[in-house]
Amino acid sequence: MKGGPKIPRRALDGVLLLDKPLGLSSNDALIKAKRIYLAKKAGHTGTLDPLATGLLPLCFGEATKFSQDLLDADKTYEATMRLGIRTATGDAEGEAIDTRDVTCDEAAVSDAMAKFLGDIVQVPPMYSALKRDGKPLYEYARAGQTVEREGRPVTIHALQLIACALPLVTFRVTCSKGTYVRTLAEDIGEALGCGAHLTALRRTGVGALTLDHAVTLDELANLSEAERDERLQPVDALLSTFPEIRLNEEAARRFLHGQRLRLADVATTRLGEGRVRVYAQNDGRLLGVAKAGEGVLAPERLVVTAQ
């Protein structure tokens, strides 16, 4: 008989705020956490490069239905760039391809960074997972090929200089989805006339979630099962930026059957158009997510355990 008895997997619903370590891929971090929890179903909310550390929300069970909402959320990072050296990958992993003198001062760095606030256009790096003709760009790059990439609009909501010990510059950035921080560092370096590459990156926020309650894999492994379960945030932690609506028993029953509801019949306060989180009025259970608009509440994703 091969192997031992199969270890039963647990049905868990919730969100783990993981502080991902350096050198581990997001998928490997997910596999390790899933194994620690013995969870049946888990997924992450968007990749964090192996060379980056910090906040990686992991979804278990019903929470996986809402992971897309964090993929679309703004992100906050603390990053360090090294001026004067450009690399093939835009970060410390790649070989140096250009070296220039750093003649700017802190004031010039601040002025250059200010130019990147707001709506900008970024050209995605060759070393990225974006696909061209079904093949990731990094495969072309590793083969020594460069392909044309169109610039993509992104938004830099906040950009703050934290420390400037030239040639090293540390900054904090809050940006829209799809922003490449290493490309931002490269572009700032070009604006300064000396080039730059990213040497460190730490994600500190995803949407409304922060590192404040995050746990490392090592810490997680040393907790008891009950203590680990206590570290899970509720499923609706992913939805905290959405307005909420509460439904009476009859409306909740119809909602869970996928029926569209007239807002005039179920909403006690005025709702704008857009996505909302939906709860049962009697016991506060999360029922799912819906889209409100044109006087109608239309179910989008339902929480099975709420039935």
Residues assigned a catalytic role:
49
Alpha helix (H) residue ranges in the chain: 26-37, 67-71, 106-114, 137-142, 181-191, 217-221, 225-230, 249-256, 263-266
Instruction: Provide the pairing of β-strand 244-247 with 85-87.
Output: unpaired
Q: Peptide bond before 167: cis, by omega within 30 degrees of 0?
A: yes
| Residue 257: how many other CB atoms lie within 10 Å | 10
Whether 281 and 248 have beta carbons less than 8 Å apart is answered as yes
d(CA 158, CA 300) in angstroms, rounded, equals 32
SS3 214: coil
**Exposure string for 220-252, b = 16+ CB within 10 A, e = fewer:** beeeeeeebeebbbebbbbbeebeebbbeeebb
d(CA 202, CA 185) in angstroms, rounded, equals 14
Backbone angles phi, psi at 18, to 5 degrees: -95, 135
Whether 44 and 26 have beta carbons less than 8 Å apart is answered as yes
